[in-house]
C-alpha cells in the first residue's frame, strides 16, 4: 500500500493562528487540505517551535487567544516558504449580491429630476436584473467571485433573489439561476453559502412591480420546495426573507419555522432605510426588528443576521443581542443609507460581520476599516471598536473572518486558522511601500486600520492555491 502524500508546511514572516498574532508562523496541511499541525517562532519547522507570546491582543468577543502549542509537523512534510508575507485566515463575505457587480460605475450620473437616493439607485439595479439570462448570471457572478478571491475572500454568503424569468415564469428547473451561481463559485474555487431569498410582494398591499416579478415565487410553499430541492443535492444553504417590506407576517413565520427546524442560518435586510421603518410601523405597529422577533427568527443563538440594521432603536439593538449584524460600509455610503451604529450594537451583544453587498467595491479590508472610520465620524472620537485590551486590528479582522463565518453557519469551518480546520487563508505582501518603516507589532493594525487588500499575494481554499487575477 502506497504511503499517503506528504504534508506541506507553509511558513510566513508573521500571521494570525488560532486568533493570535505570532511571528514566524507555520502550518502543516495534508493532502485533503486540512491543517494537521501549526506552530510559530522556529526557523526550522521540522523541529518543535519555541513557545512565544503573541505580539498582538486577541479579538474581542472571543476566548483569550493563545499561540498554538509547540507541536512538530510531520517529519516527511515538504516545506514551502511563502516569503515576506503576513499569513491570515481567509476573509468571509457575509452579504453579496453578485449580479449587482454589473452596474459598477453606471449609477454616478444624475438624470433629469433624479432625486439621487437609494430608491433611484434601485431602479437602475432593476433594469440590470431584467436583462440577465442564465449565462449572463453565471458570467457576472464568476467575475465578482474571481475578484473576491483575488483580495483574500475565500467564502461568501450570496443573498440570492434573482430566481425566475423576467416575466416571473419559472425556468424548467425552478432553481436554474441558483445553479448558475453555484457553477460560478465552483469554477472559480470560492466557497459559497447560498442564502435563498423569499420575495413575495412590492410592499404592504402592493403586488410585485413588473421588474420585481422574477424575484418572486408563487407562494411560500413554492419557495420552500426550491429550498428542499437544493438541500437534497447537498447545497450549503441559508434562508433569507428579503425584508419585512417584501414578505408578510405569515410568510416570515413560515420561513422562521423552517429555518429553526433545519438549523439553517437566516438573514434579512433590516432597517436599511427610514422609509422601510415607517412602512413597517404603518402595517404592523412595530419596527422591523420587533416583527422579526415576534415571527421567531431570534430563538436560536447566532442563528440570525440583520443586514445593515442602520436605523434601529436602542430596543431593537437589545432584541438583537446574541445575533449578528452585517455592516456593508462601502455600499451603505454609496447609497446614502446611513451609518451602522456599530458601537451600540456591539455593546448590546450583537456580533458584527461584514459584506460587500452591491460589489461596487470588493475589499473586506476596506469594509473593516470603514466600519471603524464611520463610527469615528459619527461619534467624533477615535478608537471606537477596540477590544478589552485596547487593540483595534484584531477586532476588525474578526469582523471580516470569524464573525462572518458564524453568520453563515460555518463557525467551525471558516474564518480561523487552526488544527483540524480547512486551510483557507491568504497572505499580504510585506515588500510593498505601505509597510516600509512599520514595526512588526503594528503591522496588523496598519493593514486593518489604514490598508486595503490590494497587497494580497497568495490565496488558498481547502489547501489549493487559487489564482483569481485572470478570468480565463
Please list the active-site residues. 308, 357
Contact 38, 26 (CB under 8 A): yes
Contacts of 133 (CB under 8 A, 6+ apart): none
How far is C-alpha 392 from the chain's CA centre?
19
Local structure of residue 441 (DSSP, 8 states): G
- Beta strand extents in 118-179 (DSSP E only): 153-160
Strands 304-308 and 324-327, bridge-based pairing: parallel
- Beta strand extents in 30-113 (DSSP E only): 35-40, 78-81, 85-89, 91-96
Q: Which of 343, 337, 328, 243 is nearest to 287 (CA)?
A: 243
Task: Report the alpha-carbon distance of residue 301 to residue 291 in Å, rounded.
Answer: 18
- Beta strand extents in 31-152 (DSSP E only): 35-40, 78-81, 85-89, 91-96
Task: Report the alpha-carbon distance of residue 415 to residue 410 in Å, rounded.
Answer: 8
β-partners of residue 240 are 197
Amino acid at each position: 500500500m502506497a504511503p499517503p502524500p506528504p504534508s506541506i508546511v507553509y511558513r510566513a514572516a508573521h500571521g494570525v493562528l488560532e486568533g493570535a498574532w505570532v511571528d514566524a508562523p507555520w502550518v502543516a496541511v495534508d493532502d485533503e487540505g486540512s491543517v494537521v499541525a501549526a506552530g510559530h517562532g522556529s526557523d526550522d519547522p521540522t523541529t518543535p517551535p519555541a513557545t512565544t507570546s503573541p505580539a498582538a491582543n486577541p479579538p474581542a468577543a472571543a476566548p483569550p487567544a493563545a499561540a498554538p502549542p509547540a507541536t512538530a509537523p510531520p517529519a516527511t512534510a515538504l516545506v514551502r516558504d511563502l516569503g515576506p508575507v503576513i499569513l491570515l485566515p481567509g476573509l468571509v463575505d457575509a452579504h453579496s449580491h453578485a449580479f449587482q457587480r454589473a452596474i459598477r460605475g453606471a449609477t454616478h450620473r444624475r438624470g433629469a429630476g433624479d432625486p439621487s437616493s437609494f430608491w433611484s439607485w434601485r431602479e437602475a439595479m432593476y433594469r440590470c436584473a431584467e436583462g440577465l439570462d442564465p449565462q449572463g448570471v453565471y458570467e457576472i457572478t464568476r467575475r465578482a467571485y474571481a475578484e473576491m478571491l483575488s483580495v483574500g475572500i475565500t467564502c461568501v454568503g450570496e443573498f440570492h433573489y434573482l430566481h425566475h424569468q423576467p416575466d416571473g415564469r419559472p425556468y424548467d428547473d425552478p432553481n436554474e439561476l441558483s445553479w448558475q451561481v453555484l457553477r460560478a463559485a465552483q469554477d472559480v474555487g470560492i466557497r459559497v453559502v447560498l442564502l435563498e431569498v423569499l420575495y413575495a410582494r412590492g410592499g404592504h398591499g402592493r403586488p410585485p412591480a413588473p421588474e420585481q416579478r422574477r424575484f418572486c415565487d408563487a407562494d411560500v410553499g413554492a419557495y420552500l420546495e426550491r429550498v428542499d430541492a437544493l438541500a437534497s443535492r447537498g447545497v450549503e444553504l441559508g434562508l433569507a426573507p428579503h425584508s419585512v417590506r417584501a414578505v408578510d407576517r405569515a410568510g416570515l413565520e413560515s420561513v422562521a419555522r423552517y429555518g429553526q427546524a433545519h438549523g439553517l442560518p437566516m438573514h434579512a435586510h433590516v432597517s436599511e432605510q427610514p422609509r422601510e421603518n415607517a412602512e413597517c410601523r404603518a402595517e404592523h405597529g412595530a419596527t422591523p426588528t420587533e416583527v422579526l422577533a415576534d415571527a421567531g427568527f431570534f430563538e436560536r443563538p447566532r442563528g440570525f443576521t440583520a443586514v445593515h440594521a442602520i436605523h434601529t432603536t436602542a430596543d431593537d439593538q437589545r432584541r438583537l443581542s446574541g445575533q449578528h449584524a452585517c455592516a456593508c460600509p462601502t455600499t451603505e455610503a454609496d447609497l446614502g443609507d446611513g451609518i451602522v451604529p456599530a458601537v451600540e450594537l456591539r455593546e448590546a451583544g450583537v456580533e458584527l460581520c461584514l459584506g460587500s453587498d452591491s460589489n461596487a467595491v470588493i475589499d473586506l479590508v476596506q469594509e473593516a476599516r470603514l466600519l471603524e472610520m464611520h463610527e469615528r465620524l459619527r461619534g467624533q472620537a477615535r478608537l471606537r471598536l477596540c477590544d478589552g485590551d485596547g487593540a483595534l486590528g484584531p477586532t476588525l479582522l474578526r469582523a471580516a473572518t470569524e464573525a462572518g463565518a458564524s453568520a453563515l453557519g460555518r463557525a467551525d469551518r471558516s474564518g480561523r486558522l487552526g488544527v483540524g480546520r480547512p486551510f483557507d487563508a491568504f497572505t499580504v505582501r510585506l515588500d510593498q511601500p505601505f509597510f516600509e518603516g512599520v514595526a512588526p507589532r503594528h503591522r496588523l493594525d496598519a493593514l486593518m486600520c489604514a490598508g486595503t487588500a490590494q497587497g494580497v499575494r497568495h490565496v488558498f481554499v481547502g489547501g489549493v492555491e487559487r489564482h483569481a487575477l485572470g478570468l480565463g
